[in-house]
Every structure is written in C-alpha cells, then in structure tokens.
Amino acid sequence: MNSNTGIVVYSWNANGLYGKVNDLREFLSRKNPDIVLLQETHLSGLDRCYFPNYAFYSTPSRTHYKRRGTAVLIKSCITHHHVPNPNLYHVEATMVVATFYSLPPINFISVYNPPLNTSMFTNDLEKLISYNPSTFIAGDFNAKNRQWNCSTTCRLGKHLLNFVKKTKQTLLTPESPTRISTTGASIIDFAVTRNINYLSTVRTENELSSDHLPVRFWLDTGTDPHFSQTFITNWKKYQQHIIASNTVDFVPLNHEDIEKEIGRFTNEHLEAVKASGTWVKNSSEEFSLEIKSQTKLRNKLQKIFQKSRDPRDKNLLNRAHSYLRKLHYEANQRRETDRITSLNPNDGSIWRQVKRYTKTFSKIPPLLTPSTIVYTNQEKTEAIADVLEQQFKINDLSHPPTDNLVKRKLKKFFQKTPANSHTPCTPSEIAEYIKKLKKNKSPGTNGITNLMIKRMPIKSIFRLTEIINSILKFQYFPNSWKTAIVAPILKPGKNPRDPSSYRPISLLSSLSKIAEAVILKRLMEATEDRIIPYQFGFRKNLSTVQQLLRITEVIREGMDEGWDTGAVFLDIAKAFDRVWTDGLVYKLIKLRVPGSIIRLIATYLRGRHFAVRVGNSLSSERVIDAGVVQGSKVGPYLFNIYVNDIPSPRNCQTKICLFADDTAIMSTGASDHVMASLNDYLDQLGRWLIRWKVGLSDGRYK
C-alpha cells in the first residue's frame, strides 16, 4: 500500500465549530486531507467560515438554532457538487458527490444521529444512500455495539448493525475510542460505506479540541494526491520564445486568411506561455512556530487528561487551549493590520478589500428546471444556457411597414459594391489600448489573458496591428472572436434555484476588445455629434449624476414658477439582449455612417454564440439571435444609436432624460396639462416601441 496515494477523509464532531475555525485551519495545513466531514457545527445558515483551498458546505439544524448541524469540507481542486438533503426526519446530514480521476462518483455524507433518536433513523440513512451507487457515510452515529469494540450494545447500535447487514454495507471503525467523557470511552464516530471496495485504514488521532477525537480514513484508490496549483510564467522567456519563432508574412486575400492568421497568432502565444512557465503547488496556510508548538502541547495535554481524568490535568489543558486561542487571535490581528496598511488607493486594492467584506459569494445551488432538478455544474450550465438562449431573441412585436422598409433598405445597401475606404490603425494606437487593459480580467474562449497581451513584445503588437487593419480593410469581423463565455450572477432578491434568476456577464476575447476599441473610435468620430443631447449613457464627460441633476433642476424650476411636474419612469426589458440587429444596421445607414463601418458592424453583430460556465464546466455553444454584444466596448454605444430616434416631445414643457435604457419623461405645467402632455407622448412612444421591437419591463412603468 502506498500511503502517498488514495483518498484521505476525516470525520470530526466539533461540538461547536465557530470558536475552533483557526484550530481547524491549522490542522488542515498540516494534515492536508481531501475531505473533512463535520458534525455538531452549531452554525446557522448565515454563518460564514473560510478555509483556504477548500470548499465549505454547511447544513444548519432543522430543529435547533445554532445547535447540532453538519458540514463538509472538500478540496477546491476536486471535482464535486453539493446535493441537497431529501426530507429527513431523524438524522442531520450534508452530502457532497466527488468525482476522482478514473473512479465512479462517490457520495460523501456527514451525518449526525442524536443520542435519543428512535429506531426510525435508519429510514433516513436509506434515503441518503439511494442518491448514488457509491456512498461513504461518516459521522457521529451515537450507536454503541460490541461488534465494533464498544463495552456495551445500545438500542441505536443494534438497529444500525441490522441496517448495515440488510443493505450489504461495510463498517469502517477504529480500534480506539472516538469519544472520551466522564462516563467512559466509546466508539460512536465511524463510517458506513457501500460499493467502495478498496483497502482502507481507520484510526483516531489526538488532535483538535472537542470531546470527540477526529477519525482518519484512508482509502487505497491508487489516485494521485490532490492539490491546487498555479501556473507561474517567466515573462522574459515568453517574450524570447515569441521573438525567436518564425513568422509567415501576412498578406490576406479573403476572410479565411484572416481567420487562419488569428488562429496562428493565438496558438503561438499560448505555446509560448506553456513553454515559459511551470505549475507550482499552492502553499498551504502558514502558521507561526509558536502556534505549531502550542498546538502540539495542547494535544499532548489532552491525551494525558483523557487517560488520567485528573482535574489538575484538565486545568493545564484549559490553560494551554486558551493560550493557543490567544495566539491565533493575535496572528489574525497582525495579518489584518498588515493587509490594511499595504492598501494603495492607486492600484484598486482598497476596492478589492471593501468587496471582500461586503460581497456575498454564493455557489449556485441545485436548479429547478421544468422537467427535473439539476445538481452537477455541467447540468447547471445547460439549464442556464436554455434560459439565456430564449433571452437573446428579438421581442415578439411586429410592424409590417417598418419590417418591409428595413428589409428593402438593407438589401439595397448590401447589393452595392463596398467602398474600400478606411482609416488604418497604428501600432502606437494598439499599444495605447493594450495599456488600458486590466490585468486580472478573466480571458475569453481563446485563453489569451490581458497579462499575456500586456507582456507581448513589439513584434506581436505589429502583427496584431496587421490583423486589425485587415479586419478594417475587408470589413469583416472574425468568427473566432464571436463566442462569449457567460458567467451567471444571481440577481438581487431572486430565487437562486430558478435558472432565470441569473444575469449574464459575458467574457469576450481580449484581442477582440482591442479590435472593438479601434472600431468604436471610428464609429464615434462619425456619429458623436448626431447622438441626441438628452442621452447621457456611455458618453464621455456625462454620467448618471448629471442626468439626475438635470431632473432635479426641471422639478425645482417648476416649483419656482408654481407649476406641477409629472414624470413617468420606464425601463426597457432585456434592453441590450433584444436589440433588433437589422433595425440597428438600418439606423446606422440613416445616420450616414461610412459604409465600410456599417458593413464591419453588420458582420460583428451576426453569427455570434455563447456558452455558460459554472465552475470548470462549460455548456454547449448556443446561438445569439439578437442584441448588441454583452461585455463589449462597442455594444453600449450601438444601443445609444438604436434608441437615438426615440420620439421628441411635441411641446417644450415635456422633456426626456435618458441614461442608456433607463428613461424618464417629465412634463411641467398645470395638473391637467401635465397629464395630457404625458399621455400624448406615451402614445407616440408606444408606436415607436412597437415599430422597433422594444419591450418594457413588467412592473417598471411608473
């Protein structure tokens, strides 16, 4: 047996976890277990515990507030998913299904069986093992039986043994006691397994602070040790690798040549990173030598007291434990002080620290779909993608005259021979855009990170300039940059189990964003002076605050004149996601945007796809039928153009205030005049909304 391979699982009844988190973190850094099953955590559903390199799943007691409760700690690098409990009436449990390389999924269950329970607790155990063929249930069963070296057999122990035999499961019990109290020692913490046919060892360890000792289980599965790791790149080697590589002259003749060059450019830079770095194991949390020594002393005194039961030994143990808690507290205070003093107002570290305390990080729970409940990350990606696929479609609104007008105009425009007039970009322009990229943004589908782009040698910047100039010349946006990875974020106040409760955050290729910046600059030069003056969204030197001040001034001026001011506030439903792209191209034509830019934007908008990512799982690619591009640089400005022909008021007392899709319509005057003006404008607006397939959010019309 090779003790360096396999799966290491601990089970521990903490008898209250909240004051023992630091102690458990030190234990994890030394022992490095794959999974820890915890009982009697005494946590509520709102308590937050953090363990570096581990995912933490907690189930509060269904009957007692801040009593009982179970939890599971599992290494973040292990593929796994949390499974909600079935309806349990007798035991408490937390379930996590883990998938190890070349092994079938195993359901690890932390279970707590109260000491005065009825014999019906085995019904709950039967429900738990039905979720997965291979199960590993461990915890505090409060069941004694001579079969596992207890001095007596209790009622719960008798029923549990009968259940194990009936269901053909296996008991994994240690030889030494797991709980030592004033009434004696007993073995009540152990494991019950099904379809886990590996050699194993079980032992108690004199660690941590509780009336229960942690029990260590080692399963000889032959799998390699699991540890999180980080790829460290030598950026000098990266640049040298790129400079030394052979580059084929890029003379594109068609769209296919552009796609091939982007593929070569991407692969060469990914290979350069791969050849220039190494994977480094993430270090476990560091603790001072004094804390480690005091932990050893505490464990030693705990062992002495468990044997002697002498009050003097108990006093020494309590003093050692109190001093250990003091050392942990002081170490935490020093870490926090060092973190705060290192904050810099110029590098964004203050904002990151604020988010650390204020942002709620929540995992996506099992989702309810129309036909089933999905648990795994892969299933969740598909469920959310199904919803978003319907979201990226135009609204079901029709105005045949407008539809026909747009169709004829676009057909006529694209039948013309395209003019080959464009303003090429320069390497210095590209370098400026690269400089503005944020280092820590997640990459798109091609895996090229912003940091890789920032570290590119001059040779790469010149190549990228040639690629973008070919895009401008051929008026063609490459398909390889048209797929977005969508990260779902829970909307405030929404049901986390509903797939429609998540808003999409799109991650696009960083190379694509540089090309977009070039396109946006040329589009803004052609249209900025034609954007309506009351649109303040996504425009230079204009902000939400300024639009709010404008609204305030309208109200104040009306009050000074003794007039009433009425307002209607509108919010467009799925504003960016449901833009009618043909209608947008039509409006670009009507704005007299240069034809080369229109053709380029038309190819930019069409043929786009997305895939949803949850954890390390990615959904199948889905088609985007409508909308300006989420997460893009060009998208918000294109939306401004789409709503640029919103009807103007027919009288000077009625004013419009826009910030992207948020709209305020205000009218000042006598009460009856205000109502008439607002109704008149809403009639105008309603016809415009139908013509251009724009829908309003339910409940957002005030």
Domain coordinates of the chain in residue numbers? 7-226, 373-422+475-692
pLDDT category at 416 given cuts 50, 70, 90 is confident
Do residues 95 and 85 touch, judged by C-beta distance below 8 A? yes
Residue 224 CA to residue 110 CA, distance in Å, equals 24
Q: Is 702's pLDDT higher than 50?
A: no
Beta bridge partners of 569: 664
Lowest average pLDDT, out of 222-236, 256-270, 283-297, 535-549, goes to 535-549
Number of H helices, E strands in the chain: 19, 26
pLDDT score, position 700:
42
Do residues 439 and 450 touch, judged by C-beta distance below 8 A? yes
Residue 172 CA to residue 10 CA, distance in Å, equals 12
State mean pLDDT over 176-197: 91
Lowest average pLDDT, out of 78-87, 143-152, 228-237, 557-566, goes to 557-566
Q: Is 323's pLDDT higher than 60?
A: yes
Q: Is 190's pLDDT higher than 90?
A: yes
Do residues 639 and 628 touch, judged by C-beta distance below 8 A? yes
State mean pLDDT over 170-179: 94
What's the chain's average pLDDT?
90
pLDDT score, position 699:
43
Please give the structure tokens belonging to residue 556. Answer: 């104040």
Q: Is 559's pLDDT higher than 60?
A: yes
Lowest average pLDDT, out of 227-231, 394-398, 576-580, 679-683, goes to 227-231
pLDDT score, position 228:
82
Do residues 331 and 285 touch, judged by C-beta distance below 8 A? no
How does pLDDT run across 426-461, given as a tens digit for each residue? 999 999 999 999 888 888 888 999 999 999 999 999
pLDDT score, position 2:
56
State mean pLDDT over 374-397: 93
Residue 331 CA to residue 470 CA, distance in Å, equals 58
Beta bridge partners of 535: 658
pLDDT category at 63 given cuts 50, 70, 90 is confident
Residue 61 CA to residue 112 CA, distance in Å, equals 10
pLDDT score, position 548:
85
**Helix then strand then coil, % of the chain, to nearest 5:** 40, 20, 40
How does pLDDT run across 121-149, given as a tens digit for each residue? 999 999 999 989 999 999 999 999 999 98
Q: Is 24's pLDDT higher than 50?
A: yes
| Secondary structure class of 528 (helix, strand, coil) | helix
pLDDT score, position 701:
41
pLDDT score, position 341:
86
pLDDT score, position 360:
64
DSSP-assigned states of every residue in 39-87 = E-----TT-----TTEEEEEE--SSSTTSS-EEEEEETTSEEEEE----
The two beta strands, 608-614 and 483-490, are: parallel
Q: Is 195's pLDDT higher than 70?
A: yes
Residue 397 CA to residue 554 CA, distance in Å, equals 34
Nearest to 516 by CA among 474, 486, 485, 482: 482
pLDDT score, position 404:
95
Q: Is 646's pLDDT higher than 80?
A: yes
pLDDT score, position 66:
74
pLDDT score, position 528:
83
State mean pLDDT over 401-412: 94
pLDDT score, position 1:
52
Comparing 652 with 144, which gets the higher pLDDT? 144
User: 7-226 adopts what CATH topology?
Assistant: Deoxyribonuclease I; Chain A (3.60.10)
pLDDT score, position 361:
63
pLDDT category at 67 given cuts 50, 70, 90 is confident
**CA 590 → CA 188, 576, 585, 593, 645, distances in Å?**
79, 21, 9, 8, 10
pLDDT over 70 for what percent of the chain? 98
Nearest to 297 by CA among 209, 199, 177: 209
Q: How many CB atoms lie within 10 A of CB 699?
A: 7
The two beta strands, 7-13 and 35-39, are: parallel
pLDDT score, position 38:
96
Radius of gyration of the chain (CA): 32
Q: Is 425's pLDDT higher than 90?
A: yes
Query: If residue 624 lies in a helix (H) or strand (E), which one and from where to where?
Result: strand 622-624
How does pLDDT run across 80-91, given as a tens digit for each residue? 999 999 999 999
Nearest to 578 by CA among 391, 399, 400, 397: 391
Q: Is 253's pLDDT higher than 60?
A: yes
